[in-house]
Amino acid sequence: MKKSVLILLNYLAFHGFVSYSQETPRCSVPALETQRIKNDRQYLKQKSQFESDLKIYSKLSSKEEIPDSLIVKIPIVVHILYKNETANISDAQINAQIDILNEDFRKKANSKGFNNNSVGGDMKIEFFLAQKDPSGNPTKGITRTAINKVFDITNDISEISQIIRWDENKYLNIWVTSLSGTQLGYGVFPYDSNLEGIESSKARLDAQKNFDGVLIDYRFFGKTVSKNYGFGRTATHEVGHWLGLLHTNADERCGNDFCNDTPEITDLNQASDCNDKFSDCKENGRVTRNMIENYMDYSPDFCMNTFTIDQVKRVRSVLNLSRTRKNIVTQFNTLSEAEKLVSTISPNPVTNKFSVKVLFKGNENLSLTLYNFSGNIIDDKSFSNLRSQEFDYDSSQLQNGIYFMKIQTSKETTIQKILINH
């Protein structure tokens, strides 16, 4: 499960390149997890409890506070900590990374983040550079700080976040800097659980308070000259950890990543190509193909294009369980209120997808019912105690024709006519 990156040559201006070995880890999560276990005796028990709670929560009904159909928008602040101008990467490189995250987390058609995998899922999470800083002033969502150090992930995490950080309850902090050693990045798990009865040790809470976000070496952020890791998937991988996803083998032979639709594997992909890799993890000796295209493997960037449906469910559960993650979602995904119920369909006419924006006053119980022209119910959703929201619908499997959407609160009802024309 160790994937690796060995930097052989210096980063040459305009024509530099980076090459890799297969003996060092791509991601620093396993090493830091080992260190935390050593420092916190309560940690293993609490991590197991967190995983158990995730499994329970993912089975709950549509009363989840953040509906699965809601497209969640997460603001990012990118902190550039640069020792020299080469590490002071351009706005264009940063914007390219945001685009890649959105391609991957939305399984965007006609992009490298799209897949035809039968278990491939759309996270319905979109990222954008923050438009306001913590004081409410306009911002590009990028900070730049000159430093005189190359950081070591294992020992310097707290120091990095002390240099600059924005409120982790309002932003996803991503630090981009020069890292020593061979790791490309690190993403903090959402250890804080939103369920009652889940206790966190002081050491565990302090660790997340000291550093909560994602750290990436500047050479692998956005589109770069790196042959294997120059397509922005290091950030996709580490943000996956930040949203609660484990490596597909959970950092042990045939380990459980708590996603049933990712095959059990002996180890992560250490190759520098996309050739098939196979594992034997079943008692009957059945050999299965590894999902090397999964973002939570260690494959080269150009192999990756898949989050699975169960990984989507796990992340959507985390958005409700983790206080910090949920705070970000509710902070930046609340639409304006309306004195009377207002609903809009966009786009309309519809091809393969459409959204329903619903505005109303305060908190309401809400139902969305889609009918075909004959009056038969095609889809029916109910939610409790919601504020104004926007919902995403996949209409790719519906026949062309006229449909009606009934939007109903406890007080009011509206009906929207929808034309589907693929």
pLDDT values of the chain reduced to their tens digit, one per residue, 422 residues: 333 332 222 222 222 333 333 444 677 666 666 665 556 555 555 555 555 555 554 444 333 467 777 789 999 999 999 999 999 999 999 999 999 999 999 999 999 999 999 999 999 999 999 988 998 888 999 999 999 999 998 889 889 999 999 999 999 999 999 999 888 999 988 887 443 322 455 665 667 778 999 999 999 999 999 999 999 999 999 999 999 899 999 888 998 888 999 999 999 998 999 999 999 987 656 788 999 999 999 999 999 999 999 999 999 988 988 889 988 988 766 677 889 999 999 999 998 889 899 999 888 889 999 999 999 999 998 877 777 888 878 898 999 999 999 999 999 999 999 999 98
Dist. CA 104–CA 195, nearest whole Å: 29
Q: What per-residue confidence (pLDDT) applies to 108?
A: 95
Tokens read off for 326: 């949920």
Phi, psi dihedral angles at 393 (to 5 degrees): -125, 140
Q: Which CATH number fits domain 342-420: 3.40.50.720, 2.60.40.1930, 1.10.10.10, 2.40.10.220?
A: 2.60.40.1930
Q: What per-residue confidence (pLDDT) applies to 38?
A: 58
Dist. CA 298–CA 264, nearest whole Å: 15
Q: What per-residue confidence (pLDDT) applies to 199?
A: 41
Q: Which helix (H) or strand (E) holds 417?
A: strand 413-420
CATH number of 29-317: 3.40.390.10
Which DSSP string corresponds to 68-121?
TTB-EEEEEEEEEEESSTTTS--HHHHHHHHHHHHHHHTT-TTSTT----TTB-
Whether omega before 349 lies within 30 degrees of 0, making that bond cis, reads yes
Query: Going by C-beta distance under 8 Å and a sequence separation of 6 or more, which residues neighbour residue 208?
Result: 188, 191, 192, 324
pLDDT tens for each residue of 280-299: 987 656 788 999 999 999 99
DSSP letter, residue 374: T
250, with CB counted inside 10 A (0-12, 13-18, 19+), is buried
Out of 51, 126, 168, 238, pick the active-site residue: 238
- Residue 238 annotated among the catalytic residues of the structure: yes
| Domain limits, CATH 3.40.390.10, in the chain | 29-317
Other C-beta atoms within 10 Å of 396: how many? 11
Q: What per-residue confidence (pLDDT) applies to 418?
A: 96
What SS3 state is found at 313?
Answer: helix
Query: Going by C-beta distance under 8 Å and a sequence separation of 6 or more, which residues neighbour residue 345?
Result: 354, 355, 356, 405, 416, 418
Q: What per-residue confidence (pLDDT) applies to 34?
A: 61
| Domain limits, CATH 2.60.40.1930, in the chain | 342-420
Q: What per-residue confidence (pLDDT) applies to 131?
A: 87
Q: Report the candidate in 1, 4, 42, 43 with the shortest Cα–Cα distance to residue 189.
A: 43
Say if CB 238 and CB 211 are below 8 A apart.
Answer: no
Tokens read off for 354: 């459409």
Say if CB 290 and CB 269 are below 8 A apart.
Answer: yes
Tell me the whole-structure pTM to 2 decimals: 0.74
Q: What per-residue confidence (pLDDT) applies to 394?
A: 85
- Within a 13 Å sphere around the CA of 14, how many CA atoms are in the beta-carbon half? 0
| Residues facing residue 75 across a β-bridge | 128
Instruction: State the Cα torsion 92-177-192-391 to the nearest 10°.
Output: 10
Say if CB 214 and CB 172 are below 8 A apart.
Answer: yes
